[in-house]
């Protein structure tokens, strides 16, 4: 356990990462690869809360013209809950996981509370949270930040399809510079896209480290926790 830098983390995963090569929904074989990495670090003693998005099922930005934002956001949160249930089921095939949501749906998913999440984490279960904060107008990034603070996580890891934070969009600008380490203030000054700004402000205020890395590469979660130089680390200094 002492080779890992953190005892307890929050990992943010977008719903799109669960699609694999599909255009919609969940590729179970693809999801099992993520689950295997989560289980490996959990068995090694790292307590993991996973915050999942729902963009693989529904995104409010893609709502038909004329849709109400309140309704579209709620539909996106429900998509996130569906993804959380799916991931928890996959983990439970060989390990212990508990899906939770701040949306109150007692017949569908246990209700999230900090006390319940902390208890499950302390018992060695992987906690999978869907539904963001349970409120419209807040992203699952913000849900990850709130739940990281509520469970006294030591860091927030954001697993993405990009290998870190860049000065510009690397997909359109070949001169984009990747940062190995960067401060919160520099992120703000350069208007870099690390997380939703509400989430970023919460983590900055709490001096919570953020690690942005490409989770599609097998083994990268473990490498990030060991402290290998992958992705970008965002800290106070």
Q: How many domains does the chain have?
A: 1
Q: Does the residue 194 lie in any domain? A: yes
Q: Does the residue 209 lie in any domain? A: yes
Q: How confident is the model at residue 174 (pLDDT cuts 50, 70, 90)?
A: confident
Strand-pairing partners, residue 211, are 157, 233
What is the CATH number for 149?
3.40.1160.10
Q: What are the pLDDT digits (tens) for 118-170?
A: 999 999 999 999 999 999 999 999 999 999 999 999 999 999 988 999 998 88
Q: How confident is the model at residue 1 (pLDDT cuts 50, 70, 90)?
A: very low
Q: What is the 3-state secondary structure (H, E, C) of the chain?
A: CCCCCCCEEEEEECHHHHCCCCCCCCCHHHHHHHHHHHHHHHHCCCEEEEEECCCCCCCHHHCCCCCCHHHHHHHHHHHHHHHHHHHHHHHCCCCCEEEEECCCECCCECECCHHHHHHHHHCCCEEEECCCCCCCCCCHHHHHHHHHHHCCCCEEEEEECCCCEECCCCCCCCCCCEECEEEHHHHHHCCCCCCCHHHHHHHHHCCCCEEEEECCCCCHHHHHHHCCCCCEEEECC
pTM confidence score: 0.94
Q: Does the residue 224 lie in any domain? A: yes
Query: Domain containing 39: what range?
Result: 8-235
Residue whose C-alpha is closest to residue 112's, from 153, 143, 138, 156: 143
Q: Does the residue 3 lie in any domain? A: no
Q: Does the residue 1 lie in any domain? A: no
Q: What are the pLDDT digits (tens) for 179-199?
A: 999 999 999 999 998 999 999
Q: Does the residue 132 lie in any domain? A: yes
Q: Does the residue 171 lie in any domain? A: yes
């Amino acid at each position: 356990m002492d080779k890992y830098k953190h005892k307890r983390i929050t990992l943010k995963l977008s719903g799109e990462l669960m699609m694999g090569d599909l255009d919609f929904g969940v590729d179970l074989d693809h999801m099992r690869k993520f689950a295997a990495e989560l289980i490996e670090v959990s068995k090694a003693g790292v307590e993991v809360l996973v915050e999942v998005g729902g963009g693989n099922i529904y995104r409010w930005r893609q709502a038909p013209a004329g849709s109400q934002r309140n309704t579209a956001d709620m539909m996106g949160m429900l998509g996130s809950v569906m993804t959380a249930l799916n991931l928890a089921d996959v983990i439970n095939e060989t390990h212990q996981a508990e899906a939770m949501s701040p949306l109150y749906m007692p017949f569908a998913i246990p209700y999230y509370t900090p006390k319940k999440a902390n208890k499950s984490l302390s018992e060695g279960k992987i906690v999978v949270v869907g539904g963001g904060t349970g409120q419209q107008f807040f992203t699952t990034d913000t849900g990850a930040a709130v739940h990281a603070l509520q469970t006294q996580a030591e860091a927030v890891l954001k697993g993405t399809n990009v290998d870190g934070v860049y000065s510009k969009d690397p997909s359109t600008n070949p001169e984009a510079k990747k940062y190995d380490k960067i401060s919160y203030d520099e992120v703000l000054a350069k208007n870099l896209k690390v997380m939703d700004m509400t989430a970023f402000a919460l983590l900055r205020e709490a001096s919570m480290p953020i690690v942005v890395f490409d989770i599609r590469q097998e083994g990268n979660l473990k490498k990030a926790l060991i402290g290998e130089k992958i992705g970008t680390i965002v800290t106070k200094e």
